[in-house]
Amino acid sequence: MITIAERLKFAYDRITKAIKNSHISGQKVALLAVSKTKPSTLIREAYNANQRQFGESYVQEAVEKIAELSDLNDIEWHFIGPIQSNKSALVAAHFDWVQSVDRMKIARRLNEQRPSNSAKLNVLIQVNIDDEETKSGCAINELPELAAFVANAENLELRGLMAIPKKSETNEQQQASFAKLNACFTQLKAQYQSIDTLSMGMSNDVEAAISQGSTMVRIGTDIFGPRT
Ligand SMILES: *Cc1c(COP(=O)(O)O)cnc(C)c1O
């Protein structure tokens, strides 16, 4: 049996190698371990192997696991799933980051619902980078207004962008989607000093994402195994 610690090491080695090949000066890439559908025992195992940043997609499930792991006080929880209005209060109360903010209504609610004794909620705006009908994420032309709202919101901190590109046949197609997101990121970063995070790349496209300037990859399957 291959352990979680070994799988994590493999993922970090893969990231290190991709950074070397990307030739972007000073590039640093964080690894978000995507633990959705996986039990808290496996998250604890990853924590014990020094992993600190975890991503969850389902609010109810995540809140239960966050409670089970409340003794790990330097763990960092990222919400990466679609946000329904009636779940936004739970997201605002229990997470450190939200990567999937894609509309005004949700941004407004998260700002209002963030508990006053908590640090600002770190926000990535999710962009529907390939303009797919079925995908979450704001359209590129909605980005300026949404970014301005988040940047000025009292209880939110605008940290950057996230996207899930469409499934591509070729490496070139993958890179083109990521390059498009990087262009949006560069433009926003020139306007807002708080921006430092470009979340792109999953188990099957880590190299393409890092070659186009990713600063955070989100890996589930390669760390915790396939989801059923
Ligand atoms: C599930 C998920 C991932 C991880 O996907 P893997 O293919 O298992 O690495 C990354 N990002 C988001 C937004 C996800 O929902």
Domain ranges of the chain: 4-224
pLDDT digits (tens, 9 = 90+) for 102-145: 999 999 999 999 999 999 999 999 999 998 887 799 999 999 99
pLDDT digits (tens, 9 = 90+) for 171-215: 899 999 999 999 999 999 999 999 999 999 999 999 999 999 999
For residue 62, what is the DSSP state?
A: H
Which residue CA neighbors atom 13 of ligand 1 most closely? 80
State the Cα–Cα distance between residues 127 and 199, nearest whole angstrom.
11
For 223, half-sphere exposure in the C-beta direction (CA atoms, 13 angstrom radius) is 32
The pLDDT of 86-92, averaged and rounded, is 98
Residue 101 clears pLDDT 80, i.e. is over it: yes
Could you tell me the distance, in angstroms and rounded to a whole number, from the CA of residue 134 to the centre of ligand 1? 16
Residues with CB under 6 A from ligand 1: 34, 36, 57, 80, 164, 202-203, 218-221
Q: How confident is the model at residue 228 (pLDDT cuts 50, 70, 90)?
A: confident
Closest ligand 1 atom to Cα of 100: 13
Say if pTM beats, i.e. exceeds, 0.85. Answer: yes
DSSP 129-193: TT--TT--SB-GGGHHHHHHHHHH-TTEEEEEEE--PPP-SSHHHHHHHHHHHHHHHHHHHHH-T
Predicted confidence at residue 171, as pLDDT, reads 87
Predicted confidence at residue 162, as pLDDT, reads 98
Which residue CA neighbors atom 14 of ligand 1 most closely? 80
Predicted confidence at residue 185, as pLDDT, reads 98
Residue 81 clears pLDDT 90, i.e. is over it: yes
Residue 99 clears pLDDT 90, i.e. is over it: yes
Above pLDDT 90, what percent of the chain? 94
Residue 17 clears pLDDT 90, i.e. is over it: yes
| Structure-block tokens of residue 101 | 């903010």
CB 98 within 8 A of CB 83: yes
Which residue CA neighbors atom 5 of ligand 1 most closely? 220
Predicted confidence at residue 91, as pLDDT, reads 98
The H or E element that residue 100 is part of is: strand 97-101
Predicted confidence at residue 124, as pLDDT, reads 98
Q: Which of 80, 102, 136 gets mutated to test ligand 1 (max ligand atoms within 8 A of its CB)? A: 80
Class of domain 4-224: alpha beta
pLDDT digits (tens, 9 = 90+) for 24-73: 999 999 999 999 999 999 999 999 999 999 999 999 999 999 999 999 99
Predicted confidence at residue 134, as pLDDT, reads 77
State the Cα–Cα distance between residues 62 and 95, nearest whole angstrom.
9
- What value does the mean pLDDT of the chain take? 96
State the Cα–Cα distance between residues 225 and 228, nearest whole angstrom.
10
